[in-house]
Amino acid sequence: MAEIIKKATRDAYGENLVALAAEYPDLVVLDADLSSATKTGMFRKTFPDRFINVGIAEQNLMSIAAGLATSGKQVFASTFAMFAAGRAFEQVRNSIGYPHLPVKIGATHAGISVGEDGATHQCCEDIALMRTIPGMTIINPADAVEVKKAMRAVMKLDGPVYLRFGRLAVPILFDESYDFAIGKGMQLTEGTDVAIIATGLMVAEALTAAELLKNEGIKARVINMATIKPLDRDIVLKAAAETGAIVTAEEHTIIGGLGGAVAETVGEALPVPVMRVGVNDTFGRSGPALELLKIYGLSAENIVVKAKQAVEIKKQSCR
């Protein structure tokens, strides 16, 4: 097996802002005094005239981004997920979402893998919040390659997008040939016993889980769902039809995120068991990211447990 190369998606975000800026002269980046952490600092150094620091004022950040977007700017607005989706929710909804302005919200430090900063900064609610805004696109890349592809794709998007990035270095899963499309899930492994639909850093865990399940004779179909809204209904319903058992995996509360979206979709069209791996309606705490991921069940091992449960429920319902 090749050596695993790891990189945080926030680092890829920072690098690709710089790369895109040369191509898009109207691209500007806003930050709220977190440029060293969100990695917009790379852009700040290279394009100081196109970097706007609004200071510690996230509500202002989002509404200023909206104003810039009305006047032809390609705006990336960056802060931590907690403040982008949480504190500034209503600014995102009313200043950006309602007028459907093409603001790109670059939200870093999403999820429990923020680590030592603890519960106040571990945002596990952002996908749920953003999903409720009509017309919002939500993309949660799994690795640095997906970040690059997604950022290029959103430049053409006529509407708001929430890009979700992590602080923790995660394995690079894809190569440059990866063909990313907004709103399209991607099947990574073949399998008809159970489908594991994963997003963000849980995609790597899902692939490991599929290996573990294979050893136990369960063939798992792993689907990478980078775009959570609009959800790729076709790939979800195909998985429901062909496997009859689904596990979702996300670094987010089990309420209203990918698991919610998948459950709603199959519940209305093709009901099959949907087991949700995620943060189980609880706040996080301080600790090393990798330990926290295990403690909160965001692991290949837990996906395996849930996958077996899903398969069992499927068997019972067939009797």
Partner 1 sequence: MDALTKKELLITATKIRMAIIEGVYNAKSGHPGGSLSIAETLAVLYFVHMRVDPANPKWKERDRLVLSKGHTAPALYGALALKGYFPMEDIPTFRHVDSHLQGHPDMKGTPGVDMSTGSLGQGTSAACGMALAAKLDGSNYRVYGILGDGELEEGQIWEAAMFSVHKKLDNLCLIIDNNNLQIDGTLDDVNSPYPITDKFAAFGFNVITIDGHDVEQIDQAITAAKKYKGKPTAIILKCVKGKGVSFMENQAGWHGTAPNKEQYEQAMQELTAQLKQYEEAV
| 67 binding partner 1? (CB under 8 A) | yes
CB 25 within 8 A of CB 49: no
Task: Find the shortest distance in angstroms from Cβ 67 to partner 1.
Answer: 2
Stretch that binds partner 1, among 9-17, 56-64, 105-113, 203-211 (CB under 8 A): 56-64
DSSP-H helix ranges across the chain: 9-23, 35-38, 41-46, 58-70, 81, 89-91, 126-131, 144-154, 202-215, 233-243, 258-269, 289-295, 300-318
- The span from the first CA to the last CA of the chain, in angstroms, equals 41
> Judged by CB under 8 A, does residue 28 bind partner 1?
yes
Q: Where are the alpha helices (DSSP H) in 71-201?
A: 81, 89-91, 126-131, 144-154
Question: Residue 136, interface with partner 1 (CB under 8 A)?
Answer: no
Q: Please tell me whether residue 54 binds partner 1 under the rule CB under 8 A.
A: yes
- Residue in 22, 36, 70, 301 binding partner 1, rule: CB under 8 A: 70
Cβ closest to partner 1, residue 25 vs residue 217: 25
User: Applying CB under 8 A, what is the total number of residues that bind partner 1?
Assistant: 28
Instruction: Kindly list the distances between the CA atom of residue 257 and the CA atoms of 74, 192, 225, 263, in Å, as whole numbers in the listed order.
Output: 27, 24, 12, 10
71 binds partner 1 (CB under 8 A): yes
- Closer CB to partner 1, residue 51 or residue 174? 51
The reply to whether 264 belongs to the active site is no
| Cα Rg of the chain (Å, integer) | 19
- Give the count of alpha carbons within 13 A of 36, CB side only: 0
Task: Please identify which residue in 48, 72, 134, 217 interacts with partner 1, judged by CB under 8 A.
Answer: 72
Element (H, E) at 137: strand 137-139
- Our CB check for partner 1 shows the closer of 43 and 296 to be 43
What is the per-residue binding string for partner 1 in 92-131, x denoting contact by CB under 8 A?
--xx--xxx-------------------------------
**Stretches 46-54, 108-116, 148-156, 238-246: which one binds partner 1 (CB under 8 A)?**
46-54
Of 64 and 254, which has the nearer Cβ to partner 1? Answer: 64
Nearest alpha carbon to residue 289 among 143, 124, 111, 147:
111
Q: Give the strand order in the sheet containing 27-31.
A: 51-53, 27-31, 74-80, 104-108, 161-164, 137-139, 227-229
Catalytic positions, please?
58
- Residues binding partner 1 (CB under 8 A): 28, 49-50, 52, 54-55, 57, 59-60, 62-73, 90-91, 94-95, 98-100
